[in-house]
Structure 1
Amino acid sequence: MKLKIRHDTTYTYEEPTQTSIQYLRLTPRNTPQQRILSWNLRTPGDTSMMTDGFGNQVTVMTMDKPVTEITLTAEGVVDLTGKPLTKDDSPFPPEVFLRPTLLTEANKPIKQFAKQFSANKRSLVRMMNRILERIEFMPGATTVTHTAAEAFDQKRGVCQDHTHVFIACCRYIGVPVRYVSGYIHTNSEDHLATHAWAEVWLGRNWHTFDVVNLLNVAESHIKLATGLDYLDAAPVRGMRSGGGTERLHTKAWVTLAGEKAGENQ
């Protein structure tokens, strides 16, 4: 299946920034599951490429002039091959993904919840369903700084929160699991095209767990980056000097190649 992606991100500042640096994980890489047919990342600043510790492609963008707006556009076509996840070229053994982080630390309620499940796929599918039953999908209910414990307690969040809770549970019961950022093609307008899900190591291979869509097969997913949590795989992270209050507007379209952007989001 060939998918066309366009992802626009705009930062607006109340006063000019002096300098800024952004780390952009907005370039997918070729894997057995996805072939990159074309890809273009447009930025207003100087850029250089690097590969981070998790093997993600990172564009480092720097700007040393005053600006009140930064717009980033990622666009391309990806062919999903339909091949299942197997072992991959991660520089780390799966056991690295047992390490908790501040965003995925299991508090007492999460530990009590996770104890009901075990380290096999059928049980983890049940856990995924139970997490979605507990945590309502509600855009705007959380921010990127919310932890798994906070989302679990308030019972609202977005794909990032569902994924963090799932990760916290898996690691507590001894299952290696990593955070994935990317895009998804759906026929629903309820969810954003930018997305997050988890990949679990079950002895021989990695397995997809998409809590929000209750999927354990990555049939329409385009992977951008992986890591221990959101902070490792965020599409855009950076720092700046000056600028005052920041406002972010982002929009993404994922369509079948040949459709017009906006026909399916």
Structure 2
Amino acid sequence: MHLKIRHRTEYRYDTPVHYSIQELRLTPPQVTGQTIDRWKISTPMKASNSSDAFGNQCSIFTQESPYTSMMIEAEGEVHTQDNYEFIDEPKAVSPYYLLQQTHLTEPTPEMLKFFAETLPTTNSVTAVLTLAAAVQAAILYFPGQTNFATTAAQSFAIRSGVCQDHAHIMLGLCRASGIPARYVSGYFFAEESPNLASHAWIDFCTDINQGVWTSIDITNSCLVDSRHIRLAIGRDYYSAAPVKGVRSGGEGEELSASISINQVS
């Protein structure tokens, strides 16, 4: 697929922000199944670029003058092909590190008991897909019930959430089963479901020694394919978030985000 993507994030405040730092992971990597034709990030101040521990490209900028609105825009074109297997670069984060739970992924005893029959005993694709189907069936996709700070345990307790919650629950269950797993942030092209444009899924490790990972979309209960565009990977949402930051001042924040994905003929 040849996809054109535009991602716009706008912040507005009732009172001025005096100082802020923004950290962006909005640059799709060149990986198997994904070729970047062109990509541009527009920010109000010049950003510095670097790579984090996971190999994600980060753009960071600081604003020291007062402001009451801020716009961040990323746009470009990507060619995708069906692919669900990824191999780490030699300096990648060890899969063993991705056995550790985080505040967002830690499963409760109730969660482990509920999914006991589908917890994978091996890291085979079939076994993990079976668990993904169980998570999708148990956690109703319902926007507005959760937010970026919602934990896997909280989403499970109310039996609802969005793709981010599906991913956090899946990460917790995989790690509890001894399978390294990592969070993936990205985009999903579905003309009939534009609300899924901003998306999240997981990679789980099928070969720890060789650093081989298989990518599964829990919300759609499938292996990833040409509809998926990867942005960043991490332990959970916090370490792979497309846009995050800290500020001083700025009461009454209003955040709006819009993403458009169109197929180029």
Same fold (TM > 0.5) = yes
Q: TM-score, normalised by structure 1?
A: 0.93
Write the deviation string for residues 5-59 of structure 1: whole angstroms up to 9, x where unpaired: 0001011111110111100001111112211100011111231101111110000
Alignment pair present for 1:93 and 2:94: yes
Deviation at 1:144, TM superposition (A): 0.7
Deviation at 1:206, TM superposition (A): 1.0
Identity of matched residues, % = 37
Tell me the distance in 2 between the aligned counterparts of 1:155 and 1:125: 19
**Residue 237 of structure 2 aligns with which residue?**
230
Tell me the distance in 2 between the aligned counterparts of 1:91 and 1:202: 15
- Equivalent residues of 1:104, 1:168 under 8 A apart: yes
Alignment pair present for 1:180 and 2:181: no
Query: Counterpart of 2:16 in 1: which secondary structure?
Result: strand
Task: Show structure 1 runs of 4+ deviating over 4 A.
Answer: none
Tell me the distance in 1 between the aligned counterparts of 2:199 and 2:214: 17
Compare 89-98 and 143-152 and name the one that shifted more. 89-98
Deviation at 1:216, TM superposition (A): 1.3
What's the C-alpha RMSD, in Å, of the aligned pairs?
1.4
**Residue 263 of structure 1 aligns with which residue?**
none
Alignment pair present for 1:121 and 2:125: yes
Deviation at 1:83, TM superposition (A): 4.0
Where does the alignment leave 5 or more consecutive residues of structure 2 unmatched?
none
Deviation at 1:138, TM superposition (A): 1.0
- Equivalent residues of 1:37, 1:76 under 8 A apart: yes
Write the deviation string for residues 94-124 of structure 1: whole angstroms up to 9, x where unpaired: 1211110000001111221343222222121
**Residue 144 of structure 1 aligns with which residue?**
148
Query: Counterpart of 1:187 in 2: which secondary structure?
Result: coil
Given candidates 241, 245, 248, the residue that maps to 1:241 is 248
Where does the alignment leave 5 or more consecutive residues of structure 1 unmatched?
259-265
Matching residue's letter, 1:82: D
Q: Any residues of structure 2 matched to 1:46-57 within 5 Å, and which?
A: 46-57=46-57
- Equivalent residues of 1:33, 1:85 under 8 A apart: no
Query: Counterpart of 2:131 in 1: which secondary structure?
Result: helix
Write the deviation string for residues 211-241 of structure 1: whole angstroms up to 9, x where unpaired: 1111113331111100000000001111011
Tell me the distance in 2 between the aligned counterparts of 1:7 and 1:190: 13
Tell me the distance in 2 between the aligned counterparts of 1:151 and 1:40: 35
Query: Counterpart of 1:231 in 2: which secondary structure?
Result: helix
Alignment pair present for 1:165 and 2:172: no
Deviation at 1:190, TM superposition (A): 6.0
Tell me the distance in 2 between the aligned counterparts of 1:222 and 1:230: 16
- Equivalent residues of 1:167, 1:198 under 8 A apart: yes
**Residue 21 of structure 2 aligns with which residue?**
21
Query: Counterpart of 2:130 in 1: which secondary structure?
Result: helix
Write the deviation string for residues 165-209 of structure 1: whole angstroms up to 9, x where unpaired: 011100001111000001011132263201000011112621111
Matching residue's letter, 1:150: Q
Q: TM-score, normalised by structure 2?
A: 0.93
Matching residue's letter, 1:13: Y
Deviation at 1:134, TM superposition (A): 1.1
**Residue 39 of structure 1 aligns with which residue?**
39
- Equivalent residues of 2:9, 2:256 under 8 A apart: yes
Write the deviation string for residues 118-159 of structure 1: whole angstroms up to 9, x where unpaired: 222212111111111111111111011110000011111111
Matching residue's letter, 1:31: V
Alignment pair present for 1:198 and 2:198: no
Given candidates 215, 218, 223, the residue that maps to 1:211 is 218
